[in-house]
Amino acid sequence: MGLVCLVGAGLLLANVVGFLNHSSRKGAQAIARIETRVEPISGTSRSNTVSCAGAQGLLEIPAIHLLAPVEPGTLQSTLAYAVGHVSVSPEPGQVGTAVFAAHDVTWFHRISSLSFGDAILYYSACQVLKYVVTSHEVVGHSYAIPNLPAGLALFTCWPLDALWETSQRYVVQATLVGGYQSTKVPKLTTANPSYTSYSPGQLGSLDTLAANPTPLGNLSVIGPGAGSFYSSPAALDASAAAQGAYFALLRALADPSLAPPNSYSANLLSELGAVRQGIKGYSSPLDTSVSQVNGRVQVALLKATVTLLDGSQVHLAVTETVSGNMFSPTEATVST
């Protein structure tokens, strides 16, 4: 999953289909602490570097308040809770450019705000490597990343709020400037909150994107602390749970036998009366907005323009509230 090829002197980023699939929800097993102690090293020296390199560690970018776990590979099960090290690229500290990938609506959502010279720190099991940003740009999916003697690249999908399969990537490149001894390493406290969807009765097996092929749009997160909420698995997990509750509601509307009686309020079902005939397709992608306060999600709003079975088009909006970590539909509007 996630094909990345070495071509000539560059790293060619080909189509990363699995990397673009934002539908999975995984619980995170956060790395609590990595204790580090190394001797100082110079900017491009390989001394004490290769033997201490590793694809499992912590990535810190102080300018955007990012501290993320790094795991080998770019499988969806990895990217659901961590930054992935692209396995065909060198490990950090080795000769060449180490490439890290993450979903645009998680850890790398704010990398476009980085400036020339901003620090990127990589903590491995036995050393800290310091890189500085040298460039960032929007590129095509087949862009060849320059294979620098001592480089690092961060890449993700563009736009940075996309839940859909994009054709462009955002790439930040950095160069190694040194390493340093450290006995005090940041403690990673971010954990996946494991949001769930209200899917009563038989709807629990029908609330996934796979069971409801739907063009996804953009994700927006609002409220105090939105930046920190994005820079974690929480935003992606919350959007997937909100979508699950939305899909379950539409399934129950089309076939009431799938859910126990009174699973949804009569008022909510009445508001969706025009949609009861069924949705033929989507005229616009399904956008998701999440309102939170310092990491505590309160409300989600999902909106799309849909084509009904009779050929008419309506604007559909479903509001969900969050109790505990469960998203439940509470209001809906249907307009022409």
pLDDT digits (tens, 9 = 90+) for 75-89: 988 998 899 999 999
For residues 193 and 77, which has the higher predicted lDDT (pLDDT)?
A: 77
Q: What pLDDT score does 37 carry?
A: 24
Percentage of the chain lying above the pLDDT 90 cut: 64
pLDDT tier at 5, thresholds 50, 70, 90 = very low
Contact 114, 170 (CB under 8 A): no
Place of tokens 């307009």: 335
Phi/psi at 311 (5° precision): 90, -10
Amino acid at 90: P
50 or 323: whose pLDDT is higher? 323
According to the model, what pLDDT value does residue 16 have?
A: 38
Highest mean pLDDT among 8-17, 74-83, 312-321: 312-321
Average confidence (pLDDT) over 144-161: 92
62 C-beta neighbours (distance < 10 Å), count: 12
52-56, 294-298, 310-314, 322-326: the lowest-pLDDT one = 52-56
- Report the share of the chain in percent with pLDDT over 70: 81
Q: Give the model confidence (pLDDT) of 215-264 as tens digits.
A: 999 999 999 988 888 888 889 999 999 999 999 999 999 999 999 999 99
Q: E strands, 181-269, where?
A: 196-197, 216-222
Contacts of 301-307 spanning 24+ positions with Cβ under 8 A: 302/242, 302/243, 302/246, 304/217, 306/275, 306/279, 306/280, 306/281, 306/282, 307/279, 307/280, 307/281, 307/282, 307/283
Between 164 and 192, the higher pLDDT residue: 164
In the chain, what are the domains? 4-180 (2.40.260.10), 196-335 (no CATH)
| Sheet hosting strand 144-146, strand order edge to edge | 4-7, 10-13, 144-146
pLDDT greater than 60 at residue 42: no
User: Phi, psi (5° rounding) for residue 301?
Assistant: -130, 125
* 179-188, 216-225, 323-332, range with the lowest pLDDT: 179-188
Report the candidate in 224, 243, 244 with the shortest Cα–Cα distance to residue 293: 224
What phi, psi does 139 have (nearest 5°)? -135, 170
pLDDT band at 56 (very low <50, low <70, confident <90, very high): confident
pLDDT (tens digit per residue) in 297-312? 999 999 999 999 999 9
- Which pLDDT band holds residue 285 (cuts at 50, 70, 90)? very high
C-alpha–C-alpha distance, residues 246 and 248, integer Å: 5
Return the C-alpha torsion angle 193, 199, 202, 207, nearest 10: -70
pTM of the model: 0.81
Mean pLDDT taken over the chain: 83
Which residue from 72, 91, 71, 92 is spatially nearest to 82, judged by alpha carbons? 71
Q: What is the CA angle 120-122-126, rounded to 5?
A: 150
Residue 91, pLDDT above cutoff 50: yes
pLDDT surpasses 70 at 192? no
Q: In the prediction, which pLDDT does 266 show?
A: 92
Say how far apart CA 154 and CA 145 lie, in whole Å: 10
According to the model, what pLDDT value does residue 8 have? 34
- What phi and psi, each to the nearest 5 degrees, are found at residue 247? -65, -40
